[in-house]
Amino acid sequence: MNVPLLDLKPQLAPMREELVDAITSTLDSTGYILGPTVEKFEKEVAAYCSTSFGVGVSSGTDALLVSLMSLNIGPGDKVVTTPYTFFATMGVILRVGAEPVFVDVEPDSLNIDAEQLAEIIDKDCKGERKIKAIIPVHLYGQCADMGKIMALSDKYSIPVIEDAAQAIGAEYPFRNEDGKVTWCKAGSMGIAGCFSFFPSKNLGCIGDGGLVTTSDEPFAAILRSNRNHGAEPKYFHSRIGGNFRLAAIQAAVLSVKLRYLDTWHKGRVKNAGIYRELFQAAGLIDNPVRLPATVYADMQDAEEHNHHIYNQFVIHVPERDKLREYLNKQSIGCEVYYPLCLHQQECVEQLAIFNQSFPVAEEAARTTLALPVFPELTPEQLEYVVQKIRDFYTH
């Protein structure tokens, strides 16, 4: 049996005609960069994420980059983030000339450890206060502990840029003073929420695309200016931005696909639930397989909210690399996200962060493996995956 890590063809089939119509309409309009099609999509995503504004950009990386630029972060500044994520999160900090400051991740969620973050922020704010932004990453489709992070942001007036590239539609439970819980969408809590529409994401386009959400109107205006070389109006440049514009054809495709997004979320959650039942029945849970934690599953009304959208279903296992090789030989797609932490990358070997240690992140890099979880998988395919994992550890 063949079980790919991701297959977009089954997703494409039911909406192919809608997509072709949207693409053709954009082609015939001859308006290919920004314009009404992009504006329509920006409003749709802003509404979906419960924010006031959406600013379409060329990629998730550029969403992060233009957010840092729009906060005037540069040389001499520090930005706190996690060492266990995709390279772009660190790359944009270095590109604006700032210094990344890493905080280890939680053992269960693998998101940034808010308690350790507080120690770093408290220490910095007793000195020259060089930390100018916090970038929490909502890894694999589950939000970081934004209650604690936003409390730090409010206390020290440090802006938060949410890296929500893997988490569009994910929700975080804020506990109010009266004990009740308010669920907030990823990208709606910091000054900026940064999204990627790379084709493998839960909401993916047919190339590169991204978007920044915000409810700060002046900040939204700066983002729009910076995505277009800082021009305001045309040919008059009050700042140095870049070419970060979203193509209209990508926005047209995304507007169609956005209508299906919550259904796809439900499909991924359903598949994750089937995995849990299968691993339990196979006697593999905890030894040798540790399943993805759902850290907000016990919160009030969690079953009614997207507390985890499973952009990836990531397990912790011994002999990870041997298991990956074995599964590939059984025609099962799987992937390692991420085999090397950011502070271990060759390109930063001349920086102080290269010699630092983040043991939880490093352990995750050695032991985690992503299994297929996309919505169109069949129960038989999921059973086959778990069967082969059981075979690997029992033979």
Task: Phi first, then psi: give them for residue 109, nearest 5 degrees.
Answer: -80, -25
Residue carrying the six token digits 């944009």: 92
- Give me the pLDDT at residue 175, please: 86
CA distance 8 to 56: 23
In which domain, by residue range, is 148 found? 9-258
> What's the pLDDT band for 354 if we cut at 50, 70, 90?
confident
Per the rule left: phi > 0, alpha: psi between -120 and 50, beta: everything else, 144 is beta
Q: What's residue 361's pLDDT?
A: 98
Q: What angle do CA 216, 222, 228 make, to 5 degrees?
A: 140
Residue 136 lies inside a defined structural domain of this protein: yes
Q: How confident is the model at residue 395, as a pLDDT?
A: 80
The full 3-state SS of 247-292, as one line of letters, equals EHHHHHHHHHHHCCHHHHHHHHHHHHHHHHHHHHHCCCECCCEECC
Q: Are residues 240 and 268 in the same domain?
A: no
CA separation for the pair 67, 191 (Å, rounded): 9
In a domain, 80, yes or no: yes
CATH number of the domain that 99 lies in? 3.40.640.10
Does 301 fall in a domain?
yes
Residues 156 and 23 in one domain: yes
Predicted pLDDT at 325? 98
Q: Which residue, 258, 278, 297, sits at the end of a domain?
A: 258
Which residue carries 């050695």 as its tokens?
366
Are 86 and 113 in contact by the 8 Å Cβ rule? The answer is: no
Residue 60: pLDDT band (50, 70, 90) is very high
pTM of the prediction?
A: 0.96
Average pLDDT for the chain: 96
Burial of 5 (0-12, 13-18, 19+ CB in 10 A): middle
Handedness of CA 63, 216, 214, 53 (dihedral sign): negative
Q: Show Cβ contacts of residue 303 under 8 Å, excluding neighbours closer than 6 positions.
A: none
In a domain, 103, yes or no: yes
Question: In this model, does residue 388 exceed pLDDT 80?
Answer: yes
pLDDT 10s digits, 291-326:
999 999 999 999 999 999 999 999 999 999 999 999
The half-sphere exposure of 80 on its side-chain side, counting CA atoms within 13 A, is 29
| pLDDT band at 125; cut points 50, 70, 90 | confident
| 122 contacts 90 by C-beta, under 8 angstroms | no
- The reply to whether 2 falls in a domain is no
Q: What angle do CA 338, 342, 344 make, to 5 degrees?
A: 100
Q: 40 with 187, same domain?
A: yes
Q: Name the amino acid, one letter, at 136.
A: P
Task: Say how far apart CA 6 and CA 228 lie, in whole Å.
Answer: 34
Kindly report, residue by residue over 168-180, the tens digit of the pLDDT: 999 999 988 787 8
Same domain, 135 and 254: yes
Indicate the length of the chain as a whole number.
395
Please say if the pLDDT value at position 127 is more than 80.
no
Examine the fold and report which residue of 221, 238, 258 is the final residue of a domain before the chain moves on: 258
Judge if 250 and 268 occupy the same domain: no
Both tokens of residue 298? 């016990």
Structure tokens at 82: 């996690």
**Residue 219, pLDDT above cutoff 80:** yes
Q: Which segment of 144-153, 233-242, 289-298, 356-365 scores lowest on mean pLDDT?
A: 233-242
Quick one: 81 and 216 in the same domain?
Answer: yes
Please state, for a pLDDT cut of 90, what percent of the chain lies above it: 92
Task: Please give the pLDDT value at position 207.
Answer: 96
Are 251 and 311 in the same domain? no
**More confidently predicted of 185 and 300:** 185
Asked if the structure places residue 385 within a domain, the reply is: yes
User: What does the alpha-carbon distance between residue 312 and residue 139 come to, in Å, rounded to a whole number?
Assistant: 9
Residue 57 shares a structural domain with residue 158: yes
Structure confidence at residue 129 (pLDDT): 84
Mean pLDDT score, 140-145: 98
- DSSP strand pairing (192-196 vs 161-163): parallel
Rounded Cα distance between 162 and 146, Å, is 9
Same domain for 249 and 104 = yes
CATH of the domain at 387: 3.90.1150.10
236 pairs with which residues across the strands? none
Are 223 and 266 within one domain? no
Nearest to 365 by CA among 343, 340, 385, 382: 340
Stretch 136-152: mean pLDDT: 97
Q: Express each pLDDT in 74-94 by its tens digit.
A: 999 999 999 999 999 999 999
Does some domain include residue 4? no
Which has the higher per-residue pLDDT, 327 or 300? 327
Domain identity same for 172 and 234 = yes
Is 3 within the bounds of a domain?
Answer: no
Which among 258, 292, 326 is the end of a domain?
Answer: 258
Q: Do 314 and 233 lie in a common domain? A: no
Residue 319 falls in which region: left (phi positive, over 0), alpha (psi -120 to 50) or beta = left
Looking at residue 95, its pLDDT comes to 97
Per-residue pLDDT tens over the stretch 195-210: 999 999 999 999 999 9
> What's residue 107's pLDDT?
97
Beta strands in 321-366 (DSSP E): none
Q: Could you write out the DSSP letters of every residue in 16-27?
A: HHHHHHHHHHHH
Count the domains in the chain: 2
Q: Is 146 left (phi over 0), alpha (psi -120 to 50) or beta?
A: alpha
> How confident is the model over 230-253, as pLDDT tens digits?
988 889 999 999 999 999 999 999
